[in-house]
Amino acid sequence: MTSGRIVFSLATVVGAPITQSSPPASSRPPVRNLVVVTLDTVRADHLGCYDYFRDTTPHLDAFAAQSLRFTRCLTPIAQTTPSHTSLFTGVAPYEHGVFSNHSGMSARPGAPAGLKTSAVLATLAEVLRARGMKTGGFVAATPVKRHTGLAAGFEAWAEPDSPRRGGREVIADALKFIDERGERPYFLWVHLFDAHEPLRPPTLPKPYLDRFGEEPRLASWLTERAFPATTQELEQHELTVPEVNNHYDGALRFLDEQLEVLLERLRRPQARDATAIVVVADHGTSNGQHSLMGHGVCWDEQFRVPLLIRVPGVEPRVVDVAMSTLDLWPTLFALAPELRDEGFAQQCRGSDVLASGFEPRPIFGMAARQNDVEALTAGRWKLLRAPRGVVHLFDLDADPFELADVSAQQPEIVARLSKLLDAEVSRQKQAGALRRKGAAAAVVDPKVLEELRALGYAADGGH
């Protein structure tokens, strides 16, 4: 293991055992390759395949119709570096110790610190490479560059020299990797950043910036979710909340057209019949909801992400079960056992959500480090806990957009969920302390900090 690696984790379950479903039928074609596409800053409810009223993602919608589409998937933390860390190690944030885009377990509060590394946790790329797969990672922005440790295990790697690059360039690198890999099975990671703010030319071409305009359906959609007309964060930009959402929808359409180039290649018979494909977002974004812009806190619009899995021979369907992105690998390994590594499977904290007898369980989430808010979603209830004993409780059945705090009316529910949350945080911290024993924090290059600021991230990691 190299010392430059990261530790990762997905939104985890309280006390949930790892369960396994029966292997796929032998008649299914063997899976040789794995492609993972992470869509940075893509909230599920702005995609057509998740019932959005606009045609933002026609190509992704077509892919979703041929895939398993998971409707209630939550990320454990709504910021790029820590959420990808969770994704590629299968453990929760307090275990891997990465809490923002440029800060791990800092020795001095408020001081910039490098990301914690671990000699114990393996990344998925390291595991699959050790099993003989060709590995390639092609990323679009600073929060997932090599300095984070996310490049560990990738033989081929490409990242921008600047803070970000467009999906067209990322996908061109990915297609070249596929063409040049030879006969070896491969693991490919593609990271697309086209929906991440700031959204303006040349990052977002003007035709896409202007593609969507104000309309009654948008006004109704925003009103139902209690979006304000503007926020303090927007005042200096002379934008309204409807305009921000119009620009975001245009960015999704632009991203979708870049992604289609890769999806088209993967539809060719040789790839289609041998390749498992995962499309998932690292987190969502607010776009004005709850009077916030950006991401990094614990509202549903930031935690809820699209998750699409296509495995050769597995019939497409909609899976409406509450789950964490931490459950991704146990679920995929059950569908495609050829990809399963026993050691990595034991490292993962999630469960196979398609297993017979699987029961949804409480799902942990947390804000990026500057907010110090923790969350637990359990069935119809969601608990938010802030410092100094401040708690909020939402009844998601009656209030899916988290507008009415009912903590005062439900003290027993607050007490029960608080106890579960305490137990989960304690478990993660104990596991993290063991994993990080003896690891040292690296100093972040000032150039990296400057690139993060150019993408809108504050010095404390907030956005």
Per-residue pLDDT, 104 = 43
pLDDT tens, 215-231? 999 999 999 999 998 88
pLDDT tens, 179-198? 998 889 999 999 999 999 88
Residue 69: count of CB within 10 angstroms of its CB: 25
Per-residue pLDDT, 117 = 45
Distance between CA atoms of residues 327 and 331, nearest Å: 6
Per-residue pLDDT, 370 = 66
pLDDT tens, 159-172? 999 889 999 999 99
> Higher-confidence residue: 338 or 239?
338
Residue 109 has pLDDT above 50, yes or no: no
> What are the sequence ranges of the domains in the chain?
33-452
Q: Which tokens in the block code for residue 36?
A: 């993972």
Superfamily of domain 33-452: Alkaline Phosphatase, subunit A (3.40.720.10)
Residue 9 has pLDDT above 60, yes or no: no
pLDDT tens, 43-55? 999 999 999 999 9
Among 71, 72, 47, which Cα is nearest to 59's? Answer: 47
Q: How many residues does the chain have?
A: 463
Among 259, 314, 278, which Cα is nearest to 124's? Answer: 278
**What is the band of 311 on the pLDDT scale with cuts at 50, 70, 90?**
very high
Residue with tokens 């309204």: 240
Residue 10 has pLDDT above 90, yes or no: no
**What is the band of 106 on the pLDDT scale with cuts at 50, 70, 90?**
very low
> Higher-confidence residue: 445 or 311?
311
Q: Is residue 363 a contact partner of residue 12, using CB atoms and an 8 Å limit?
A: yes
Rounded to an integer, the average pLDDT of 62-90 is: 95
Distance between CA atoms of residues 341 and 140, nearest Å: 28
> Higher-confidence residue: 385 or 114?
385
Residue 423 has pLDDT above 90, yes or no: yes
Mean pLDDT across the chain, nearest whole number? 86
Rounded to an integer, the average pLDDT of 79-86 is: 93
pLDDT tens, 247-305? 999 999 999 999 999 999 999 998 999 999 999 999 999 999 999 988 888 999 999 99
pLDDT tens, 341-377? 999 999 999 999 999 989 889 999 999 876 689 999 9
Per-residue pLDDT, 239 = 85
pTM greater than 0.85 (yes/no): yes
Residue 214: count of CB within 10 angstroms of its CB: 13
Residue 413 has pLDDT above 50, yes or no: yes
Share of the chain above pLDDT 70, in %: 83
